Amino acid sequence: MTSHADYVLRIVEERRVRFVRLWFVDVLGILKSIAIPASELEAALEDGVSLDGSSLEGGVRGHERDVVAHPDPTTFQLLPWRTDAVVGRMFCDLRLPDGTPFAADSRQALRRMLGVAADLGYTFQVGAEIEFFLFAVPEGDGPPVPLDDGAYYDLTPLDVGSSFRRRTIEHVEGMSIPVKASHHEVAPSQHEIDLHHTDALSMADAVTTFRLTVKEVAGELGVYATFMPKPLEDVPGSGMHLHLSLFRGDENLFAGDPLSELGQAFLAGVLAHAGELCAVTNQWVNSYKRLVSGDEAPEHVTWARHGRAALARVPVARRPEAARVELRQPDPSCNPYLTFALVLAAGLRGIERGYNLPPEGEGPPLPESLREATDRFDASELARETLGDRMCDWIVANKRREWGDYRRAVTEFERRRLLRLL
Amino acid sequence: MSEAWIYAPASPAASETARLLAELGFTPHRVEANGALRPRPDARQPALAVLAGDDWADVCARLRDDELLCAVPCLVTIDQEGLETGEVLDGHELIVRPFTAAELRARIARARATTHGIEPGDVVRTGDLELNLATYQVTIDGVPIDFTHMEYELLKFLMTHPGRVFSREALLSAVWGYDYYGGARTVDVHVRRVRAKLGQEHAARIRTVRSVGYRFDA
C-alpha cells in the first residue's frame, strides 16, 4: 500500500489539482479554510502550514501567535461542486511550532476523548439527522422568505427543495458522506438529511463538510441555506438528532432490551450532564428559542422509548448491532467536535461511576437561556476535564459577550408589544 | 516496503534467496513452515511467497486454503536434483537454484502476472468501471470518480480479487493492516462510501454476503 501522503500527491498530479484547501474549525465550529497552490502541497504535508494564531477565535496568548496547521492526508478529497478549477481539501490538526496540540483545536479535543474511549476498548459511533431551512434571498434587509408551504414528507411539484436535495445528496456522497434518507420537514422550506453512522471523528468532519456543501448547492440554485436553530417564530426550529452507540470490535455494547446495562449507564451519564453541556450543544442565544417551542424540541432532561418530546429516545432496534440512543438536544449550528467529545465524556462517566437511569419521562428542565447555560458550563468539572481550562474559559468569555450584546438589543417582540401601548 | 516470506528451513540457500530479495527491494522474512504460515501471528499478507523447502507442494496447498494468503503470488525455488526427481505441478512459477537477482526479478514478475492476471501499470476493468493501478485513477465510462485513499485501497483490493468472499476482519487486515482505527465497522463504513460514489449500477457489484462479508462480482 502507498502511504497516505504519496496517494495525495499522485492524485493531485493526475487530476491536475490547482489548489488544496486546508480546513479547520474555530472553537465555535465555524469552518476556516486556507488555500495553497498544488506546488506547495508536498511541503505542507511534511511540515504543515503556519497560520497567524491571533486571527483564530480561541483566546490565543502572546507567545502562541504562530500556529501550524498539519493536514490529515486521509481526509484528502476533491470538491465535487467546483467545475472551473479542480480543488481538493484536507482537514487539519492545529499545533504549536514545538509540535504540542494547540489548546483551541476542536478536532484534537475530540481525538483526545476518542483516545480515552479507545483505551477502554470502545469505539464511539455517531449518526446524525440534520435539519435546516432554505430561503429565497430577501430584498434588502427583509425577513427570511420561505420557498414553499410544503408539509412533512410532501412531494411538491416545482419544488426547488427536491432538486436541491437531489443535488445536495450527490455532492455530499461525492465527499464520502453516505446519506441514509432525506425529506421535507414539518416547517415550510425546512429539510432534513440523515447521515449514516460512522466513527465520531469522521462524523464531526462530515457535519462540517455537510454544512458547507448545503450552502454551496443552495448558492448554485440562487437561494440560501441556514442552520440557525430557530429562524422563524411560529414554526419548529432545526435540530441535529444524534444516534449514539459504543462498540467493542464488532459488538454493539448498547444491545439489550431496549438497552444494555452499559447503555443505560451511558445514557444516565448523558442525561445527568446534559444541562451543563448546553453552552456547547446549543451555543447561541437563538438556540434557546428552539428549546422552548415545544413541538419536537426537548425542554426537560428526560428519556423515553416512544414519543418525540424527550431529550433522549431509545428506539427499538431491529437488529442488535443497530442498538442506539437518540439524543435530540443539539442543534445543527453546534461545534460537532466539541459536542461529540462532551457527550462521549458524559456517557463514559455514567459507565465509570455506575449512574442509574432515572424513570422514563422524568427529569429537570434544560437551561432556559444562553446565560443560564453558560453559568452551568463554567462550573462544569466534566467540561473542564474534557476540554481543558483554556478552551472552557474561552467559550465562557465568548458566550458572556454574546449574552451581553443580546441584552442590549431591542427586539421586534418589544416593539410589537409596547411601542403603541406605552 | 513489500515483504517477501521465504518458506524454508534455515540453510545457506535460504539466506542467499533472502539476500537477493533484499537486493530487489523486498523485506525478506523466513517462515519455518512447520505449522504457522506467518512469520508473526499479526502479520498481514506479503507481496510474495517464496517456497524453498522440500515441502513446497504442501505449503502451496495450505496457502491456497488461507483466506488472506490465497491471493499472494508464489514462487517455487528448486534445485536441479529436485527438478529431476520431484513432482512439478502445473501453474507454479519455478526457479532453479542457483539463480541471479535478474532472473529472480523476472520470475517474480511472472508469478505476479499468473496470480493476478495483471501487472503494475495495468488497468483493472469491469464493464465501464476502470481502476488504474499505476495512476490510482478510477473512472466510470471515462468520468473520474474521486476516492479518499482508504476507499481507493478497498476498491482496489476487491476489484483485484473478484468472485471471492472476504470477511470484514480479512478486509480490515488486508487493506488497513493492524494500525486501523475504529474496528471492523470501518469496513462497513468504507464499503458504504465506495458504493455511494460508484452509483447504483456498479455499487451492486460489491455484494454483501450475509453474516460472512463482502464479494466483488466482476
Cβ(A134)–Cβ(A160) below 8 Å: yes
Please identify which residue in the block is written with the cell numbers 462479508.
B213
Q: Which helix (H) or strand (E) holds B87?
A: none
Q: Where are the domains of chain B?
A: 2-116, 123-216
| pLDDT single digits (tens) B131-174 | 998 889 999 998 999 999 999 999 999 998 888 899 988 898 88
Residue A154: per-residue pLDDT? 43
Residues of A with CB under 8 A from a CB of B: 1-2, 4, 7-8, 10-11, 14-15, 73-78, 80, 118, 123, 125, 173-174, 176-179, 196, 198-199, 202, 247-250
The ipTM assigned to this model is 0.87
Examine the pLDDT at B72 and tell me if it is beyond 70. Answer: yes
Note whether A178 contacts B185, CB cutoff 8 Å. no
Closest CA to A357 of A298, A245, A269: A269
CA dihedral A365, A369, A375, A378 (to 10 degrees): 90
* pLDDT interval class at A157 (50, 70, 90): very low
A117-122 — which CB contacts under 8 Å span 24+ positions? A117/A246, A117/A344, A117/A348, A118/B181, A120/A348, A121/A248, A122/A246, A122/A247, A122/A248, A122/A253, A122/A348
- C-alpha to C-alpha distance for A69 and A97, rounded to whole angstroms: 10
Closest alpha carbon within chain A to B157: A1
pLDDT at position A158: 45
Quick: pLDDT tens for A364-421: 999 999 999 999 999 999 999 999 999 999 999 999 999 999 999 999 999 999 999 9
Chain A nearest C-alpha distance from B86 (Å): 37
Task: Give the pTM.
Answer: 0.83
In this structure, is the dihedral angle defined by the CA atoms of residues B135, B139, B144 and B149, taken in order, positive or negative?
Answer: negative
**How far away is chain B from the Cα of A419, in angstroms, using its nearest Cα?**
55
Of 2.40.128.20, 1.10.10.10, 1.20.210.10, 3.30.70.120, which CATH number belongs to B123-216?
1.10.10.10
Q: How, if at all, do strands B143-145 and B138-140 pair?
A: antiparallel
B149 touches chain A (CB under 8 A): yes
CATH class, B2-116 region: alpha beta
More confident residue, B94 or A200: A200
pLDDT of residue A150: 46
pLDDT confidence of B46, banded at 50, 70, 90?
confident
For residues B108 and B48, is the Cβ–Cβ distance under 8 A?
yes
Are residues B183 and A78, on separate chains, in Cβ contact within 8 Å? no
Contact assessment for residue B125 and residue B117, using Cβ atoms and an 8 Å cutoff: no
Mode of pairing for the β-strands spanning A312-313 and A303-304: parallel
Q: Which of A16-25, A276-285, B176-185, B195-204 has the lowest mean pLDDT?
A: B176-185
Closest residue of chain B to A7, computed from CA coordinates: B149
